[in-house]
Amino acid sequence: MSTRKLPHIHQRRIEPAGKRLKFELLDLEFSNGATRTYSRMRTHGLGSVIIVPMQDDDTVLLAREYACGLHHYELGLPKGRLEEGESILDAANREMKEEIGYGAHELLELKDLSLAPGYMTHVTHVVLARKLYAEKLEGDEPEELDVMPWPIDDLDSLVSRPDCTEGRSIAALYIARDYIRNHPIDE
């Protein structure tokens, strides 16, 4: 496999898109001389976290939350956006407390996932949370989320459910499962 030289960015410009976001247009020249203008969506730059909260090494705690994009209740992992000045692990612990009512004594970054790297700059940090303790923080959710313990070794039947759809959530669960198999908790 060749090691390609990255396209040269000749120019970049911003195109506003409504109140919520903007596009960045890049005039690119590829290493073979081909030129294209690509656009990418820029949301706020802080990124987000998605947490794999393990009740024990066999059981992950899933949350069921209304997902407006698909107008259904989605079964997946707790997640949310980083706030200004907040570290990744602090954001993970806060989101867990808000969404499922637990903090964790052990938090570990496993992987950075992109959402749609072809046209979005967004990055989500996957955090494995173990040694949980009960603590509830008030979030901005309109209703309490249902929390659903799930055997981490049974991802097949989880993924076969029509209410478990999110790519990042499913990827994070498989990555965490394989990590836990190789790194059981030290207790």
Site for its own copies in 106-165 (CB under 8 A): 111-124, 142-143, 146, 148, 155-156, 159-160, 162, 165
Q: How far is the CB of 144 from its own copies (least distance, A)?
A: 8
For residues 124 and 47, the answer to whether their CB atoms sit within 8 Å is yes
CB under 8 A: which stretch of 24-32, 53-61, 89-97, 130-138 binds its own copies? 24-32
CB contact set of 169 (below 8 Å; sequence gap of 6+): 50, 76, 77, 79
> Residue 108 or 171: which CB sits closer to its own copies?
171
The distance of Cα 96 from the centroid of its chain, to the nearest Å, equals: 13
Write the DSSP string, 109-122: EEEEEES-TTTB--
Work out whether strand 146-151 and strand 59-67 pair parallel, antiparallel, or are unpaired: antiparallel
Residues 24, 120: Cα–Cα separation, whole Å: 10
Q: How far is the CB of 131 from its own copies (least distance, A)?
A: 24
> Residue 4 or 134: which CB sits closer to its own copies?
4
Which two tokens mark 15? 């195109």
> Residue 89 or 123: which CB sits closer to its own copies?
123
> Residue 105 or 181: which CB sits closer to its own copies?
181
The Cβ of residue 126 has, within 10 Å, a number of other Cβ atoms equal to 26
Q: How far is the CB of 28 from its own copies (least distance, A)?
A: 8
Subset of 80-99 contacting its own copies (CB under 8 A): none
Q: How far is the CB of 97 from its own copies (least distance, A)?
A: 19
**Which of 10, 13, 17, 105 forms a contact with its own copies (CB under 8 A)?**
17
Which two tokens mark 117? 């790297």
Residues 169, 113: Cα–Cα separation, whole Å: 10
**Which of 40, 55, 59, 108 forms a contact with its own copies (CB under 8 A)?**
40
Work out whether strand 21-29 and strand 35-42 pair parallel, antiparallel, or are unpaired: antiparallel
Q: How far is the CB of 63 from its own copies (least distance, A)?
A: 11
